[in-house]
Structure 1
Amino acid sequence: MGRRVLLSFLGLSDYEYCYYTYEGKSSSYTRFIQTAVYELFRGDGPMDVVVFATKEARERNGRDRFKGEERLEGLITAFQRIAPEANVKLVEMESRQDEQANWRLFDCILNEIREGDTIYFDITHSFRSIPFVALIVLNYARFVKKTDIGAIVYGWFEMLGRPVDVKQLPPERRLAPIVNLTSMARLLDWTNGVDQFLRTGDASIIQALTAKENSEVFRNPSSSQTMRNEVKELNQLTKQLDQTEKVIRTCRSLQIDEEVRKFHEQLGRVRSASAEAIKPLVPLLDVMEKKYAMFDDDPIMNSWKAVRWCLDHGLIQQALTMLEENAVTAVCRVLGLDLRNEKARGDVHSAIEILLRDIPKEEWRVRSVERVEQIIDFLSPYKGDLKRFSTLKERRNDINHAGARPQPLKAEKFWPDAEQSFRELGAFFERMSALAKTMQISKENA
């Protein structure tokens, strides 16, 4: 289990004493934001403290010194007075800020982070490019060392005025707030989640982030009912988004229409909300809608469009599987066969293969000769539209058997092959869709 560790920076300024405040609590009287953050964020247990400082800053503020007649308490002495149990480490850093120095700073900070640490990051006395480098390190460490961000904070001392003015204030008026910037850092999470969704269609990160926001809002007693309702609806939306994506990824083709319908309904409820509870998600609503705008109320064409969705997101195996099976489903829909009946679907598969390969009747190996004959009669006018089906079936078998077959197709050939199959079978889906609509109109007029 990782540590709870405070990372901070020490500068050259003659820091003035004050009380730092956070969420109604006050720190001890101190010159150093580091002791205040430790006190106010340590919770039930101690934190390790790592303070980065140049050689000059370490000599000036790391230890006690005199400024004229005034004795200035150093950082180490301040911790010994306020939190003697704290494990404090001063790490020397360069004062240069060129590209090479920034990379060395990156390594310097990363080397002080351990696997699984929860990091509390104080940016009060970081300067120039340091906050940018440190934020990159934090994000990098989260992936490489599985760390978590406890808080990112800033001690707003300048709210009290200029140091010369603060000197004139009595201690009870020297109250400087600590500003929590953690929510802004979460934009990094949202950025990763949005990027993953746009590239792959995978909404799992977005769903997890929204669930976390939902939990935090409901735990916060100050959250308004409007805020809670909106976050709840957003959470339901991303859950549904994640569910819709999983249905496609796992080739649950007969569920796609229903899940897409639920998604659009939930999106409508979110759009009607009056506030913006999770700002990074709101601009995504249009993007989400566009992702599934291709789907309408035509189940046959939707089953073909689902293949397009898979191809667009690099899901080649799913695309091949659904293209073959959805072509069979389209025939079943038009002929009124049970979409989930294994025997009926098997007969459609057999009929297509017999039709395309002109297999003599005496060589048929089918369950129901009569039904297969009926299906072949129905499909005969569409033989040209189905000519790609045999190749498609071969490619699906190849990829599903992991290439453990004689003369397997090269990996780089699958995507263009799947694209070609998708395009060539499009006319067949369109014809089946038109037939199904005609039959539906006939039933309604009967």
Structure 2
Amino acid sequence: MSKINIITFLGDRGALQTTYIHNKKEYVGGVFAEVLRQFCQYDTMLVCVTEKARENTWPVLEALGDSRIKPIDIPTGRSTEEMWQTFKIIAGEVNENDHVIFDITHGLRSLPFLVFLFAAYLKAGKNVTIDAIYYGALELGNFKTGLPAPVIDLSEFVGMLDWITATDQFIQTGDAQRLAKLLNPDGAASNITKKAATTLSDVSLATLLCQPLQLANKAQSLESDLLKAQEQLQLTAPPFEMLRQRITDTFGNFIGDFQQDTKKALEAQFRLIMWYHNNNRLIEAMSLAREWLINAVTHRLGLPFTLKISTRENLIARAISGVEMVSRNDLTVEELNEYGRIIHDTWAEKDKLIQLWNALRPVRNGLDHAGHQEGAMSVSKIVKTANEKIKPLLCALAKTWDFENCFESI
């Protein structure tokens, strides 16, 4: 069962009676932990104390006689080694799925930095929920005039880590599940923000399932949908603006319509292949590479783009494989179909095309069949072939066919 833990730090100079204000109510305490005890619900208060703090300040809390308050000995923090010790001590006191409230009012000036690292680790490593990060701003109160010190909750800044991590995950893997959830955490977001979350999910699904035609279609509205959502998120999620630009810069590269501009669409698909490859998504990269090659050869032959199997497989793929068979003397030129003869007789780059087809076929088949083939390629050979043969040959053919724009943003 999860618990609510307050993690607080004590200074070593004893107590100073101070009035704080939180949610329009005033509270008095010699140390801020006394104040937290008055307005926070919790199961355990873990009080981090150095040797001096235990001697000079801990007695203030000890005198309360509250069995939920527990002292935790930590080093002074004079070196990074001691700071790591503190990190390990605190992490060891928190369990999976717990809730945590941090207090950074007292302690060393490096404490806020460390607490944000603690929060990031606990969220990612133990699925902990950070309920609050409180700071009793002593310097903003005035003891002489009776102005109470405000209590500031800094936990929303931990949310920046969520936005950054979720965006990075989307850009590196295509998985936007976490990012979409941040946009619409409880399903009750505005229509504009909900639409942005839906568009992200649609783009993500098309990317994960290697559906470049649907990805190109869905990504067309990504920038405008995210831009509209940004206007509503300026106050609640300020980092979204910078992250939105990064998202649209990445996925905008994959937009292309074969019916309107085949060359531009081929360049967009090539960039997607390279994105898959550079992010270790070899299954998608190799699967799409074969389809792209058929698309590119079709375009090079002056034929319109088509999804008809009768054209893609029976004519174009057979033409490429036929030229490869001629090179092995397993077929004669006369036995090639119309397009195979064109490639064989007139294309100076036919050797590169054959080399790519030969390298791509076993890798793509091995990946798509999940290794369930007799004599399947080893993982190391798949990676080596993809890196050292397929990618260079793809790039060489793209340049030969004048797809220069496909190297932008790679």
Normalising by structure 2, we get a TM-score of 0.78
Choose which of 101, 104, 108 in structure 2 pairs with 1:120.
101
What residue number does 2:61 align with? 75
Q: Can you list the C-alpha shifts for 1:346-384, whole angstroms capped at 9, x where unaligned?
A: 3143333123313548xx9xxxxxxx9455466554571
Which runs of structure 2 are paired with 1:41-60 in the superposition (5 Å)? Answer: 41-42=40-41, 46-60=42-56
**Distance of 1:96 and 1:264 partners within structure 2:** 46
Contact 1:247 1:255 in 2 (8 A): yes
Q: Which runs of 5+ in 2 are unaligned?
A: 258-263, 404-410
Could you tell me which amino acid in structure 1 is paired with residue 95 of structure 2?
Answer: R
What residue number does 2:261 align with? none
Structure 1 position 91, deviation (Å): 1.5
What residue number does 2:214 align with? 255
What residue number does 1:287 align with? 246
What residue number does 2:290 align with? 324
**Distance of 2:383 and 2:94 partners within structure 1:** 41
SS of match in other structure, 1:282:
helix
Give the greater-gyration-radius structure (CA): 1
What residue number does 1:437 align with? none
What residue number does 1:434 align with? none
Q: Can you list the C-alpha shifts for 1:97-153, whole angstroms capped at 9, x where unaligned?
A: 223322222222122111221110000112233333333233222232222211101
CA gap of 1:213–1:18, structure 2 versus 1, over 3 A, is farther
**Distance of 1:107 and 1:302 partners within structure 2:** 47
Q: Can you list the C-alpha shifts for 1:415-440, whole angstroms capped at 9, x where unaligned?
A: 23231232144268659xxxxxxxxx
Choose which of 107, 111, 115 in structure 2 pairs with 1:134.
115
Q: Does 1:209 align with 2:182?
A: yes
Could you tell me which amino acid in structure 1 is paired with residue 111 of structure 2?
Answer: I
**Distance of 2:56 and 2:219 partners within structure 1:** 63
Contact 1:196 1:202 in 2 (8 A): yes
Could you tell me which amino acid in structure 1 is paired with residue 210 of structure 2?
Answer: C
Contact 2:230 2:240 in 1 (8 A): no
Choose which of 379, 386, 391 in structure 1 pairs with 2:353.
386
Choose which of 142, 152, 164 in structure 2 pairs with 1:191.
164
Contact 2:219 2:252 in 1 (8 A): no
Contact 1:11 1:57 in 2 (8 A): yes
CA gap of 1:246–1:429, structure 2 versus 1, over 3 A, is farther
What residue number does 1:32 align with? 31
CA gap of 1:214–1:76, structure 2 versus 1, over 3 A, is farther
SS of match in other structure, 2:63:
helix
**Distance of 2:24 and 2:251 partners within structure 1:** 47
Q: Can you list the C-alpha shifts for 1:275-315, whole angstroms capped at 9, x where unaligned?
A: 56522121233323331353445333333332122223222
Choose which of 176, 179, 182 in structure 1 pairs with 2:149.
176
Structure 1 position 240, deviation (Å): 2.9
SS of match in other structure, 2:100:
strand
Which runs of structure 2 are paired with 1:147-166 in the superposition (5 Å)? Answer: 147-162=128-143, 165=144
CA gap of 1:374–1:276, structure 2 versus 1, over 3 A, is farther
**Distance of 2:288 and 2:401 partners within structure 1:** 13
**Distance of 1:132 and 1:346 partners within structure 2:** 59
Q: Can you list the C-alpha shifts for 1:309-340, whole angstroms capped at 9, x where unaligned?
A: 2223222221111010233345668645751x
**Distance of 1:104 and 1:304 partners within structure 2:** 49
Structure 1 position 2, deviation (Å): 2.0
**Distance of 1:316 and 1:400 partners within structure 2:** 10
Could you tell me which amino acid in structure 1 is paired with residue 162 of structure 2?
Answer: D
Normalising by structure 1, we get a TM-score of 0.73
CA gap of 1:198–1:353, structure 2 versus 1, over 3 A, is same
Structure 1 position 274, deviation (Å): 10
For the aligned residues, what is the CA RMSD?
A: 3.7
CA gap of 1:264–1:188, structure 2 versus 1, over 3 A, is closer
Contact 1:109 1:134 in 2 (8 A): no
Deviates more, 1:180-189 or 1:9-18: 9-18
Q: Can you list the C-alpha shifts for 1:212-234, whole angstroms capped at 9, x where unaligned?
A: 3986xx5xxxxxxxxx68xx44x
CA gap of 1:378–1:299, structure 2 versus 1, over 3 A, is farther
